[in-house]
Structure 1
């Protein structure tokens, strides 16, 4: 689904990424973990094609969906209008909106269809941002801190959607500081430190064991 090879990126004299190699297969969920300012968001935006690396290559099977940490929504537009806009941008008919298997339905957005974005809770704004990124049925999804500051129900619904996407062979690459969410969503966790991947684990076992494995990796930061 996605492969990054020898990615280098500097801002002025500061080298943020120093030869990062990363691969995500179809139906696989990979989490990039690391301390603040480790370069996780920079790596995601390069993977999304929003930013060019100084050197290295990005290979993806089509245009990937991207969900930023802070939803980029138009305050005066309703939930329905946001989705119509994204479906139209991907040359898909609006009649697909709120079908039984549509991401926006699985995320419960039919309950908020007529609400303006500036009147939505943070959790619903996150749901809408994810649904918009999926409107074009991309081969994979990139998510920057998708579980931050969410209520339990929203987190549960997003985890369920990510599981559904994996079953449909969508690749997922995300960042997170939430060990329980990482343990529930990821197949592999990569530790980004000093501009390079310094550690990697493949999660196994029950949820409690997986959480312990994530915490052990994060402790290396």
Structure 2
């Protein structure tokens, strides 16, 4: 299980005439993060700075990056990244766009402004918990389909079903519950079901 943002979020803050627009988005991988960052930078191409941070965890792989985009080193990208860490978020990208208002904020002021814009964007996006899933393929008889579907609802989601001489189901169940789910399917169908893992 991990925490991420529910959807894209945008929030605007103003500090001493500078406008900070925070953008947060859920992402699956580094390619998606880069696509999101580029889209925001293109949309706000006239901005003085587009500071970014993202944190991605896939299994044992961790990708964590931030960029100050011309602001003083450590004043902007790192505080945005720290928000992701403090909120224990992963698979999230954040960009904070700054339009300079003519008054310098200093290192501490910049850090606070970028941090607050990031927090506001994340709050606008909403935080959810996501359970990692395993995909399985089931082959069951027509007589077993209704009780099997009820069990699937308890453990996960039905992705696809195909009816021929038997019923083929693609399902996803929470990681860590696969063995119990398979055992219950086997008992429920009196060994008539065939269960196989599908490689993602």
For Structure 1 versus Structure 2, the TM-score category normalised by the shorter chain is under 0.3
TM-score (norm 1): 0.24
Which structure has more relative contact order (CA 8 Å, sep 6+)? It is 1
Between Structure 1 and Structure 2, whose CA radius of gyration is higher? 2
